[in-house]
Amino acid sequence: MVNNLWQLQDAKNKFSNLVENAQKNGPQIVTKHGKEAVVVLSIDEYKQLSKPKTPLVNFFQNSPLAKEKIEMERDYELPRDIKL
């Protein structure tokens, strides 16, 4: 058996081992009916994968809309009365 490949039944029975292997040895693949179904990874790997490639400010500065003149005005009227 490949070290990072788990059958679903084994993954359920040895979940603690599965988590420990994901933390120490990298992503662990769980199969269902012989087909790869899910991957278990450490939180550090997940954060690295889900982290944006560029900071949000740079994203907006490089947007095609950055050169558009957007006029924003605040409405100073009071909100409407609502009966509760």
Q: Over the stretch 6-40, which tens digit does the pLDDT of each residue have?
A: 999 999 999 999 999 999 999 999 999 999 999 99
What is the Cα–Cα distance from 31 to 25, expressed in whole angstroms? 18
Domains of the chain (ranges; CATH) run 5-59 (3.40.1620.10)
Q: Rounded to the nearest 5 degrees, what angle is found at the Cα of 13, between the Cα atoms of 8 and 17?
A: 95
Q: What is the pLDDT of residue 11?
A: 97
Q: What is the pLDDT of residue 24?
A: 95
Do 4 and 27 touch, CB atoms closer than 8 A?
Answer: yes
